[in-house]
Amino acid sequence: MLLCSSLSGRSSQSGIFRDKTFSSFSRSRSLRNSEMASPPILSLALPSDTGRVLSIQSHTVQGYVGNKSAVFPLQLLGYDVDPINSVQFSNHTGYPTFKGHVLNGQQLWDLIGGLEANDLLYYTHLLTGYIGSVSFLNKVLEVVHKLRSVNPNLTYVCDPVMGDEGKLYVPEDLVSVYREKVVPVASMLTPNQFEAELLTKLSYCRISSETDGREACNILHAAGPSKVVITSINIDGNLLLIGSHQKDKEHPPEQFKIVIPKIPAYFTGTGDLMTALLLGWSNKYPDNLDKAAELAVSSLQALLQRTLSDYRRAGFDSQSSSLEIRLIQSQDDIRNPKLTFKADKYT
């Protein structure tokens, strides 16, 4: 009994001693911190050769779509990337169910305000993907203006996610906001075939030839962006990428195509990944969009082949549902892609 009491007392005293010491240390550290200058943000003080990207996209806990599909590849390519998650879901919406939260425009602006208050708003690039409401898209436009007030040379890369294969999966009133407000301020656009038709008002007479695709790029150039990549165009059963770079208004754009193999499967997150890769490589090759597209397509196709192979190796029917991409397993293909796809330049 005496032994227990003694041990208990010693333990209690020791606990008091620890509490006092911790309290003293906390006060000391608090005083010291108040007297010291904040350390520099090294991504600002010692910027990378590539850039600093603010990426506003969706996020899932499990799987690779939105920021989960874009941030890691850009980091592998040497970029500092700050993600803002427009949604935070348990998984992508192709599953039977999902849970999570949606960021609203005011919450986005609060985050921008916090960055501004600490002089953290210098970015070389802004990347945006899926946006589900007009109010949020309008707030993104305010973000573009705010970032360009800090860095007038900001490159805005926009994936205007609106739909695919003739079907919208955003509210219809978003289309006019993209067409009238977003396209004029974008530096690079990466629509698919259907989105390019919507943005150029060609939806009533679909893009059905390479000539139509090139003309869609010309229409978009006239509205704003110097770089346009229509990431997938299905023409007579063939899948193409058509890219266009208008280096100045006095000369016609340099245009090219890349023939892409069709893979008998549906993958999630590929559009988000493709746009991130195009941002990454086009910044490294600013005057050679065709080279950037070759590297991006080569990376993506290697990743898709690995994804397909792994699902088959696991005994899964790759055509029975959408496939989660094997992003981590493909990082060598992202960092150092083998150039397996070549661009054909139009003359």
Just list the catalytic residues: 272
CA angle 290–293–294, rounded 5-degree value: 85
Strand intervals (E) in the chain: 52-60, 80-89, 100-102, 125-128, 155-158, 163-164, 167-168, 188-189, 227-235, 238-245, 254-260, 267-268, 323-324, 344-345
N- to C-terminal Cα distance for the chain?
A: 97
How far is residue 240's CA from residue 341's CA, in Å, rounded to a whole number?
12
Chain centroid, CA 202 distance in Å: 26
How far is residue 59's CA from residue 79's CA, in Å, rounded to a whole number?
19
Q: Which residue has the tokens 């939260």?
A: 101
Residue 83: name the closest of 120, 117, 126, 114 by CA. 126
173, containing H or E segment: helix 173-177
Supply the Cα-derived Rg of the chain in whole angstroms. 25
Q: Letter for the amino acid at 64?
A: Y
- Residues found in the chain: 347
Residue 270: name the closest of 216, 231, 309 by CA. 231
Chain centroid, CA 87 distance in Å: 13
Residue 53: name the closest of 20, 31, 77, 19 by CA. 77
Beta carbons of 151 and 123 less than 8 angstroms apart: yes
How far is residue 279's CA from residue 144's CA, in Å, rounded to a whole number?
16
Q: Which residue has the tokens 């020791």?
A: 14
